[in-house]
Amino acid sequence: MSLAPANRTRLHLGVVTETYPPEVNGVAMTIGRLVDEMSRRGHRIQLVRPRQGQGDTVADALDDEFDAPLSTTLVSGVTMPWYRELRLGLPAGLRLRQLWRRERPDVLYVATEGLLGWSAIREAARQNIPVISGFHTNFHSYSRHYQIGFLQRPIYDYLRRLHNRTACTLVPTEVQRKSLLADRFRNVEVLGRGVDSRLFTPARRNEDLRRAWGLGRRDLAVIYVGRLAAEKNLPLAVHAFRAMRERNPNLRLIIVGDGPFYEDLYGNERDVIFCGVQTGVALAEHYASADIFLFPSETETFGNVTLEAMASGLAVVAFDYAAAHMHIDPKQEGLLVPLGDHAAFIATAAALATQPERVEQLRFAARRKAQRLDWQGVADRFEWLLRTYSGRA
């Protein structure tokens, strides 16, 4: 059944992205959710993305669950050496020209800023297709974690040029909107994020899983969920956990995810439980079976895992920015420390290790807040922006 109002025209939305489910990352999840919500409202979606592997042969697929078809066009890509799980899309101007002359979208959403996105923006300009872009990842901040810090300013300048060629740029927080505007980005709009609180819920707590982790009913599981990479600041989470165990030996550190930092972590942290990549219900069970969520990253544009942890009823320890700053009332729904203050992060986590009643209070309040952060409101805002900037309001 279509959720599109009867008196509103349906949109033909083009989406260009270099990552999409089943790839596991915050950008893919967000785009997948937006596409899903727009499809449910009856809009026609034209997805353009790189092939995700040798077995990826999807083309012009229809999803019969929705009223409107989702068509997928695959383009060439190359593997990024520092992020081998993803493929960087190559320029596809000719392919896009042919596609859009045959099936012209009303509006284009360019979700990622690689060469594929750049070629899409350029071709859309030639065909007078309005474009909205998404600023999902602080790529310029990543450079210092990969020994190419000298490229931080050129990367940022590239991002600004790309986004300023579009009608508007979408960011997840008001803080980032103000930051980009101050750096001469034009027409920046906020599009928040939601969480599926029916999937991520304390009801999925799994005592069998906790026993497999070596935990009793009163023991605490400390969890990190995300990519295992240099930009995620994982050594800080490990140092914080060590400080926690000095105060309370009945703890386990659970790490969910994979990435290039796995070997370094696994080789040095033999008593940490590595669970690999988890998705869907299995991921929700891992969250819900833990008690405290440590999020040491300092490079997020948002951090969807923060909302997933809150919805799962976890006590969150994070830096005071991005999703945590936006959605956590300090000392009520989680514990926040000033961005960059590693000593405070460790001290805050260590103190929480000896306060089980406090953990329970934070867990309850976090869950209650997350239940108000659904994807419907985000989809309403996204649809309004699409209509406004395409002239089809």
Tell me, what CATH number does 357's domain have?
A: 3.40.50.2000
Least confident of 8-17, 130-139, 218-227: 130-139
Given pLDDT bands bounded at 50, 70 and 90, which one contains residue 331?
Answer: confident
94 shares its domain with 217: no
The SS3 call for residue 291 is coil
CA-based max dimension of the chain: 65
Residue 4 maps to a domain? no
Given pLDDT bands bounded at 50, 70 and 90, which one contains residue 67?
Answer: very low
Query: φ, ψ for residue 136 (rounded to 5)?
Result: -95, -25
183 shares its domain with 283: no
Pairing mode, strands 315-319 and 168-171: unpaired
77 shares its domain with 58: yes
The mean pLDDT of 158-170, rounded to a whole number, is 96
Contacts of 244 (CB under 8 A, 6+ apart): 222, 251, 349, 350, 352, 353
211 shares its domain with 172: no
User: Residue 316 pLDDT more than 50?
Assistant: yes
56 shares its domain with 33: yes
327 shares its domain with 211: yes
Residue type, 49: R
246 shares its domain with 357: yes
Residue 3 maps to a domain? no
DSSP output for 1-70: ---S-TTSPPPEEEEE-S--TTS-SHHHHHHHHHHHHHHHTT-EEEEEEE--STT----S---TTSSS-E
The mean pLDDT of 372-380, rounded to a whole number, is 96
Given pLDDT bands bounded at 50, 70 and 90, which one contains residue 229?
Answer: confident
**In degrees to the nearest 10, what's the CA dihedral of 324, 330, 331, 334?**
-10
Residue 1 maps to a domain? no
**Within a 13 Å sphere around the CA of 382, how many CA atoms are in the beta-carbon half?**
29
The mean pLDDT of 308-319, rounded to a whole number, is 98
143 shares its domain with 206: no
* % of the chain residues with pLDDT over 70: 87
Structure tokens at 227: 């990519």
Q: What is the pLDDT of residue 85?
A: 64
Contacts of 379 (CB under 8 A, 6+ apart): 34, 37, 38, 41
Q: What is the pLDDT of residue 266?
A: 64
Structure tokens at 22: 């089943």
Least confident of 220-224, 257-261, 292-296: 257-261
Q: What is the pLDDT of residue 271?
A: 72
The Cα 274–Cα 255 span in angstroms is 5
User: Residue 68 pLDDT more than 50?
Assistant: no
Q: What is the pLDDT of residue 3?
A: 46
User: Residue 51 pLDDT more than 80?
Assistant: yes
The alpha carbon dihedral of 27, 185, 192, 123 has a sign of: negative
291 shares its domain with 168: no
Domain that holds residue 46: 12-194+374-390
Residue type, 172: P
Q: What is the pLDDT of residue 262?
A: 75
Helix orientation angle between 304-311 and 280-288, rounded to the nearest 10 degrees:
70
181 shares its domain with 116: yes
Q: What is the pLDDT of residue 57?
A: 59
Write down the mean pLDDT value for the chain: 89
Residue type, 371: Q
379 shares its domain with 362: no
The mean pLDDT of 142-148, rounded to a whole number, is 45
Residue 5 maps to a domain? no
Structure tokens at 150: 């000298």
176 shares its domain with 207: no
Number of folded domains that form the chain? 2
**Within a 13 Å sphere around the CA of 26, how many CA atoms are in the beta-carbon half?**
25
Closest CA to 133 of 94, 184, 187: 187
CB-CB contact of 87 with 18 (8 Å):
yes
- What pTM does this model have? 0.88
